[in-house]
């Protein structure tokens, strides 16, 4: 038996009752970091690549992020917003701009070095790292790294066991292989924008770069699979992961509707093309998402919320097929009822009813959600330049514990001396490389 307490959300305009399980079990032990001892050479920038390498770092891999010498990852300059600088920030980093919130979001648990590998001495540094690494992840345009002697064939000669993951816009082959990959462009080109937005409005992009994030997740999974393959074969693998194919796969049932039945996708706003009612509805003072996905749920909703026990037996609404055919009439009826009361009124009535629902929370309300605190989804870390900063915790637990955030996101070139020393460079050699702006 577990002790339970009923509490209410303290988030503004959200008072749904929830149950918190305080538990009486022994403290869970989590799982040892499975990638401890794995070294990852990270040649990626922006979002898709850094997402994949951050997930590897979360699992214990030593991720060495190689950045351009003067500016670093593009997202370092994407501010405001940025973290405020601490009064006791390291003097050697005083010339750097503030730490952008964007960069901080996807670079925890990594080390940062800066190397100009267009120079022979810089290329030698990367070659040394390739020889010592288990995984290399890059997101340059197809064929670009080969021009510097860092392509798959080049690196395989240096390290036959290397997992080489290429993240591009459109893949290593085909007529678009040389095209750069941008989330918003691929959202447009691979069908996502066409099905996003209101029916009578223009196509819309999703609020976050979901194609980049999905590609990072696919790449992360592929790298884990390649590491398992290497255990069996002793050989490295070249992974070809790209935004276009990730987004195509992400069309899910919309893609299947077209391939199986020739049915073109369309925009439905927050509504579902095949289920009614299943969308956002306005209330007197806000919005609420309701998803009555079957006849039983619709009956409960009609009787308890709408006060219309006649609707479930009305031939126009008695089945989901009928409700889809008479969508507009039913949506108008529901809207008329819900706009008579405030959002909290309907949240209270829907809680425990058995009809899926959720308030439309803004970001502040989302982070004030009691589940965020109960699940410890915010982690505070000490950053050497910004002091205490808050990050979203890793999304997965193992035996009840999350992998730790062992390192805050690094400032630019924070670990260059450290990594080069590990590679066998002397202090004098490092100073000379810095003087030449190789590092």
Active site residues: 212
Indicate the Cα dihedral angle 423, 427, 433, 434, nearest 10°. Answer: 120
| Alpha carbon distance 347, 365 (integer Å) | 15
- Give the DSSP H/E element, type plus range, for residue 401: strand 401-402
Alpha helices (H) along 70-149? 101-105, 120-132
Rounded CA separation 394/54 (Å): 10
- Name the token pair of 376: 């410890």
Query: Do 191 and 256 touch, CB atoms closer than 8 A?
Result: no
Q: How far apart are CA 301 and CA 60, in angstroms?
A: 47
Provide the Cα torsion 242, 248, 253, 258; round to 10°.
Answer: -160
How far apart (Å, rounded) are the C-alpha atoms in residues 300 and 251? Answer: 32
DSSP conformation class of 310: T
The burial of 133, by beta-carbon neighbours within 10 Å (0-12 exposed, 13-18 middle, 19 or more buried), is given as buried
Burial class of residue 201 (count of CB atoms within 10 Å of its CB; 0-12, 13-18, 19+)? exposed
Measured distance CA(425)–CA(429) in Å, rounded:
6
Which two structure tokens, joined as six digits, stand for 351?
Answer: 């809680």
DSSP string of 68-91?
-TTT-SGGGG--SSBPPPPTT--G
Q: How far apart are CA 282 and CA 346, in angstroms?
A: 11
Q: What is the rounded CA–CA span in Å between residue 191 and residue 268?
A: 14
Query: Which among 58, 39, 56, 181 has a CA at the least distance from the CA of 113?
Result: 39
CB-based contacts of 364, cutoff 8 Å, min separation 6: 11, 12
Strands (E), 32-124: 39-43, 62-67, 110-114
Residue 409 CA to residue 414 CA, distance in Å, equals: 10
d(CA 141, CA 214) in angstroms, rounded, equals 19
Give 3-state DSSP helix, strand, coil % of the chain, rounded to 5. 40, 15, 45
């Amino acid at each position: 038996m577990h002790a339970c307490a009923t509490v209410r959300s303290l988030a503004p305009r959200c008072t749904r009752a929830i149950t918190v399980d305080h538990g009486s079990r022994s403290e869970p032990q989590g799982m040892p970091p499975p990638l401890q001892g794995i070294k990852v050479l990270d040649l990626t920038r922006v979002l898709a690549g850094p997402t994949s390498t951050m997930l590897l770092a979360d699992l214990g891999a030593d991720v060495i992020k190689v950045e351009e010498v003067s500016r670093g990852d593009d997202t370092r300059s994407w501010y405001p917003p940025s973290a405020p600088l601490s009064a006791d920030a390291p003097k050697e980093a005083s010339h750097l701009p503030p730490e952008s919130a964007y960069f901080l979001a996807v670079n925890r648990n990594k080390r940062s070095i800066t190397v100009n590998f267009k120079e022979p001495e810089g290329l030698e540094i990367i070659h040394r790292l390739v020889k010592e690494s288990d995984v290399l992840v890059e997101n340059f345009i197809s064929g670009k790294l080969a021009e510097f002697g860092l392509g798959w064939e080049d690196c395989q000669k240096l390290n036959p066991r290397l997992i080489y993951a290429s993240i591009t816009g459109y893949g290593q082959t085909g007529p678009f292989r040389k095209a750069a990959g941008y989330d918003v462009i691929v959202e447009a080109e691979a069908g996502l924008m066409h099905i996003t937005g209101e029916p009578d409005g223009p196509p819309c992009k999703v609020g976050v770069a979901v194609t980049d994030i999905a590609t990072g997740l696919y790449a992360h999974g592929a790298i884990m699979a390649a590491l398992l393959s290497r255990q069996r074969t002793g050989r490295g693998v070249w992974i070809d992961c790209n935004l276009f194919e990730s987004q195509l796969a992400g069309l899910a049932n919309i893609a299947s509707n077209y391939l199986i039945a020739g049915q073109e996708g369309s925009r439905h706003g927050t509504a579902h093309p095949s289920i009614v009612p299943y969308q956002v509805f306005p209330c007197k003072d806000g919005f609420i998402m309701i998803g009555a996905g079957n006849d039983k749920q619709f009956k409960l909703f009609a009787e308890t919320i709408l006060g219309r026990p006649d609707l479930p037996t009305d031939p126009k609404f008695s089945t989901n097929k009928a409700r889809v055919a008479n969508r507009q009439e039913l949506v108008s009826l529901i809207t008329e009822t819900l706009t008579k009361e405030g959002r909290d009124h309907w949240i209270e009535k829907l809680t425990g009813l058995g009809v899926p629902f959720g308030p439309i929370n803004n970001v502040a309300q989302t982070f004030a959600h009691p589940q965020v605190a109960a699940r410890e989804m915010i982690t505070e870390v000490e950053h050497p330049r910004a002091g205490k900063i808050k990050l979203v915790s890793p999304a997965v637990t193992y035996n009840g514990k999350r992998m730790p955030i062992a390192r805050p996101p690094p400032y630019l070139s924070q670990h260059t001396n450290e990594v080069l020393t590990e590679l066998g460079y002397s202090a004098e050699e490092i100073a000379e490389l810095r003087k030449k702006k190789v590092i």
